[in-house]
A and B are shown apart, each in its own frame.
Chain A
Amino acid sequence: MTDFNPRNAQPVVLETRNLSKVFGGLTAVNAFDAQVHKGEICSLIGPNGAGKTTVFNTVTGIYNPEKGHVIFNGNDITGHKPHHIVSTGIARTFQNIRLFPTMTCLENIMAGQHCRISSGLWSALFKSARQKHEERETRAVAESRIKQIRLWDYRHELAKNMAYGSQRMLEIARALATNPSLLVLDEPSSGLNPKETEDLMEFLTGLIRKEDITILLIEHDMNVVMGISDWVIVMDEGKKIAEGHPEQIYHNPRVIEAYLGSNDR
């Protein structure tokens, strides 16, 4: 990986330095270093239990790491609260979809704009001008996002009544509604059928093209990884074992070994 890399021309958006997270006696993430550059789709892959989701949870503030730092746009955000990290510009989705089931699709997406609202209790009680303005703004953003994922007709439907694939898209739309500069997706294609996966890939590449955004995702579907990633990072047993362009990773013997196991012939 010493060859010229146009990726390095772009600034680093997210960086983890020596990140470690321990559960009981198990080191889930072990001295993990990674960099995500601006405007790329970066995939984090690895066998089950490699610690990918733990990295995500540490980056988004759900876990506090034992060691190491998370640097986002040059600021150390290690150990910050999730809502604070969202407001600095990292939004995420979950492996098992976590929507607000008995609220409408539109309300679900409006959640994303919450961190951009500055009016408080009294403005809400007395409907101040600012509150009205922000309320309209929130609604407008949510409506444009729901149009973007083509679920406009279902905006008043409860989230729990939506089809699985639509729920995945809703969760992505909710994350996008926070106006993030980094979108963190945890297995966005899991549970989707081939057609839906295709649509998702198109959606994500379109997003990168049209918006000023960077995407980091965990993915098991190699078609998705190879199809849309600009950069791939491979994890095994809490450590980074390789990184590179998709085709480099595809032929990397260490990666193949991690996935298939070594035979020690």
Chain B
Amino acid sequence: MDVFLEQLINGLTIGSFYALIALGYSMVYGILKLINFAHGDFFALGSYVGYTVLVFGSAVITTHFGLWGGLMAAMIIAAVCVAFVGIMVERAAYRPIYPAGRLPAVVSALGASIFIQNTIMVIWGPRYQAYPASLIPNIHIQIGGLHITMLQIVILIMSFMLLGILYWIIQKTTFGAAIRATALDKDTASLMGVDFNKVIFFIFTLGPALGAMTGVMVGMYYRQISFTMGWNYGLKAFTATIMGGIGNLPGAMFGGLILGVLEMFGAAYISAAWKDVFVFLILILVLIFRPTGLFGEKVAEKV
């Protein structure tokens, strides 16, 4: 039972990372039907920016703002920088290509991904970088037989707060409604007065910013970051997006959480080496029986 709870917490932690990245993925995906391969690299870039802030700016920040201020600064600076990059990428690599259809955009996205990945490599070097240790006091908490660290709790709280805020933005605000409407039907939404360009601007700020913050959290959690790590997380986020149902933002969120939990249970109860196989097999099974994802609407094609 303790193992179960521990794995559940681990799974939710990783799942919340996936969910945050998947949200950014799904927003772009739902609206442009673009498989945004660069999204995983926004996340990696954010992780590196956060790393730089924490390593080189730590003396300045922590003396003036304390530990939490330092962390917040790292996340916010990473988010702002990467949001800026996100918009640049959209302007340079995606916007000129939308009219040509979605397949050329996939190649362009791959190109953007290669570009960002290699920019990271050129700036920070091809080797692993390590986040500073003991950012968060290394406190172990024991409840019965259950072990959790302070770090885990902090990260869980942070990521779930972010997810909560995002959920609120998407479900309750006018802008969220605009995004959802555009994802459902771009033309009708624009006839109803939704400014498409604003929506694009918004999703390409919010998505990369979220990715960047996740990047900082992943850096804190695993401590080791590499310039290629965006690929794996991007792939998982895409999986979560599809598992939840295309264009369904809460679906992507839950898809990410489910994916993380499945992965951890797969690792604990089956085998760590086969955990991704387990996850993909579940995904394939889900799609065989629910061809439009877990939360996707079952739509009969209009003929």
Contact = CB atoms under 8 A, between A and B. Distances in A.
Find out whether A and B make contact in their complex, taking CB atoms under 8 A apart as touching.
yes
Interface of A: 23, 53, 57, 62-63, 94-95
A23 B303 contact: no
Nearest to A53: B303
B102 to A, nearest CB: 16
B1 interface: no
7 contacts: A23-B300, A53-B303, A57-B303, A62-B303, A63-B300, A94-B303, A95-B303
Contacts of A57: 303
Interface in B288-303: 300, 303
Nearest to A186: B303
Interface of A is mostly: loop
Contacts of B303: 53, 57, 62, 94-95
A51 to B, nearest CB: 13
A194 B300 CA distance: 34
Interface in B252-303: 300, 303
Which 7 residue pairs spanning A and B have beta carbons closest together? A57-B303, A62-B303, A23-B300, A94-B303, A53-B303, A63-B300, A95-B303
Nearest to B298: A24
B288 to A, nearest CB: 18
A238 to B, nearest CB: 16
Interface residues of B, number: 2
Contacts of B300: 23, 63
Contacts of A53: 303
Contacts of A62: 303
Nearest to A60: B303
Nearest to A57: B303
A86 to B, nearest CB: 15
A95 B303 CA distance: 8
B302 to A, nearest CB: 8
Contacts of A95: 303
Contacts of A94: 303
A63 B300 CA distance: 9
Nearest to B301: A62
A81 to B, nearest CB: 15
A200 to B, nearest CB: 21
A57 B300 CA distance: 12
B299 to A, nearest CB: 10
Contacts of A23: 300
A95 B300 CA distance: 16
Contacts of A63: 300
A205 B300 CA distance: 35
A57 B303 CA distance: 8
A85 to B, nearest CB: 14
Nearest to A21: B300
Nearest to A92: B303
Interface in B51-88: none
B11 to A, nearest CB: 34
A231 B206 CA distance: 61
Nearest to B302: A96
A146 B134 CA distance: 77
A234 to B, nearest CB: 22
A62 B303 CA distance: 9
A23 B300 CA distance: 8
A108 to B, nearest CB: 18
A254 B148 CA distance: 74
A94 B301 CA distance: 13
A23 B299 CA distance: 10
Nearest to A54: B303
A24 to B, nearest CB: 9
A23 B302 CA distance: 12
A94 B303 CA distance: 7
A80 B303 CA distance: 17
A62 B302 CA distance: 10
